[in-house]
């Protein structure tokens, strides 16, 4: 229900309400009920993907664990695009803030957004923006898709490191050592994995009529 309300709030300007009232059966004035149901189910599934994958993490000696959240973000954005991925991510954040254990380490609560890893939550949205824009602008370019993921990840690193340094009162070099260097190789492997598998998955979902 939350996904449905948020998505159609974002998409409300795309509909012609006057024509729907005058002639509700006129084709093209509003999204068919079948498509609305498909959109809602699709958003729900992608939100579930985030909620299932993001909590899994590997603790490190530092303050930031290795998480599958970035892999879920990369994959979700490629499959459903910028706008839908953003809606799913905001729903994921809302679920975590009310206490559901969907954040790394199977934790929850709004306090996590203000903790040492808080900057990365904003950084994940930067990944969605950069990757989603690259996919929309250069739909058939694998190079630009990878560039979008890489640029979004770099912004995520910067936001996460700045916030970590501010909260922990440590220097920027220490922040990089704790919040960036341990994750570069892992994130590079995630980007490669998504670049190889996500196009195949999306193509099959499109053929099956499960994606718009």
Q: Among 97-101, 176-180, 205-209, whose mean pLDDT is lowest?
A: 205-209
Q: Are 114 and 31 within 8 A, CB to CB?
A: no
Q: What is the pTM of this model?
A: 0.80
- Cα 79 from Cα 32, distance rounded (Å): 22
Buried b (16+ CB within 10 A) or exposed e, 39-70: bbebbbebbebbbebbbbbeeeeebbbbbbbb
* Cα Rg of the chain, angstroms: 19
Tracing tokens 């559901």 back to the chain, one arrives at 100
Backbone dihedral region of 81: left (phi > 0), alpha (psi from -120 to 50 degrees) or beta?
left
Choice between 43 and 2, residue whose per-residue pLDDT is larger:
43
Q: Report the SS3 class of residue 66.
A: strand
Reply yes or no on whether the pLDDT at 193 is more than 80: yes
Task: Return d(Cα 151, Cα 132) in angstroms, integer.
Answer: 12
Which of the four pLDDT bands, split at 50, 70 and 90, describes residue 58?
Answer: confident
For the ranges 9-13, 39-43, 94-98, the maximum mean pLDDT occurs at 94-98
Q: What are phi and psi of 28, to 5 degrees?
A: 90, -10
Q: Are 8 and 84 in contact (CB under 8 A)?
A: no
State the average pLDDT over residues 37-41.
Answer: 85
pLDDT tens for each residue of 121-166: 999 999 999 999 999 999 889 999 999 999 999 999 999 999 999 9
pLDDT on residue 3: 46
Domains of the chain in sequence order? 2-207 (1.10.1760.20)
- Reported for 167-173, long-range contacts at CB under 8 A and 24+ positions apart, including other chains, are 167/114, 167/115, 167/116, 167/118, 168/63, 168/116
Q: What pLDDT is attached to residue 32?
A: 60
Residue 27 has pLDDT above 70, yes or no: no
pLDDT at 37: 84
Reply yes or no on whether the pLDDT at 53 is more than 50: yes
Residue 10 has pLDDT above 90, yes or no: no
């Amino acid at each position: 229900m939350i996904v449905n309300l948020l998505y159609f709030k974002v998409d409300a300007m795309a509909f012609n309400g006057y024509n729907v009232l005058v002639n509700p059966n006129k084709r093209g004035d509003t999204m068919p009920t079948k498509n609305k149901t498909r959109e809602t189910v699709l958003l729900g599934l992608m939100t579930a993907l985030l909620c299932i994958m993001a909590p899994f993490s590997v603790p490190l000696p530092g303050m930031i664990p290795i998480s599958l959240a970035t892999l879920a973000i990369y994959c979700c954005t490629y499959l459903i695009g910028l706008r839908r991925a953003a809606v799913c991510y905001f729903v994921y954040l809302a679920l975590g803030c009310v206490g559901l254990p969907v954040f790394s380490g199977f934790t929850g609560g709004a306090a996590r957004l203000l903790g040492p890893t808080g900057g990365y939550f904003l950084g994940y949205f930067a990944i969605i923006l950069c990757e989603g824009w690259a996919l929309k602008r250069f739909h058939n370019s694998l190079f630009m898709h990878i560039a979008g993921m890489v640029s979004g990840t770099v912004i995520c690193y910067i936001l996460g490191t700045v916030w970590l340094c501010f909260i922990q009162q440590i220097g920027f070099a220490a922040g990089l050592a704790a919040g960036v260097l341990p994750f570069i190789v892992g994130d590079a492997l995630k980007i490669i994995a998504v670049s190889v598998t996500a196009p195949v998955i999306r193509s099959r979902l499109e053929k099956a009529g499960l994606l718009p």
